Amino acid sequence: MSKHYLVGYDGSVSADRAFDFVAEQARHDGGRIRVVAALQMTDGGSDTCAMMMTDQGARKAHELLDALKSRAADLGGRIDTEVVYGSPGDVLLAQVAAHGIDHIIVGHTGRGVLARWLIGSVSDDILARARVPVTVVR
């Protein structure tokens, strides 16, 4: 039985490494890859500026996800992508049940202790709450 992998993707170097890691795994075992970019809405309600930033963020995320599909064209139809609004940890964990995910792969940003304390760490959040194996790629 092939695996169904989930990759959280934000366009960072560590997210690129996570995608490359899982693409190689899928080539080896015939697995499927679901790549999700989580866009967190800013506070401020329906403020025009916030809506424009969100729209630009979604457009950029779709461009990044399309580029990933091109990078791994040999995997063909085994890559699904989606942009989802919400907190990255919550978004990725919700994907597990909704899409039958067997394994989560995320990058590690390498933020310092203060930054992790102030804004949190997606990988720490997922590691603490996931009910499936998680790989953090550095």
CATH label of the domain that carries residue 131: 3.40.50.620
CA dihedral (52, 57, 62, 67) in degrees, to 10, reads 130
Q: How far apart are CA 55 and CA 32, in angstroms?
A: 28
Domain around 126: 4-137
Q: What is the pTM of this model?
A: 0.84
Instruction: Provide the pLDDT for residue 110.
Output: 60
Domains in the chain, number: 1
Amino acid letter for position 30 = G
Find out whether 127 and 134 touch, Cβ atoms under 8 Å. Answer: yes
Instruction: Provide the pLDDT for residue 62.
Output: 87
Please report, in tens digits, the pLDDT of each residue of the chain (138 residues total): 679 999 999 888 999 999 999 999 999 999 999 999 998 865 555 554 454 456 788 888 889 999 999 999 999 899 999 999 888 999 999 999 999 999 999 988 765 444 444 445 788 889 999 999 999 998
Instruction: Provide the pLDDT for residue 117.
Output: 43
- Average pLDDT of the chain is 84
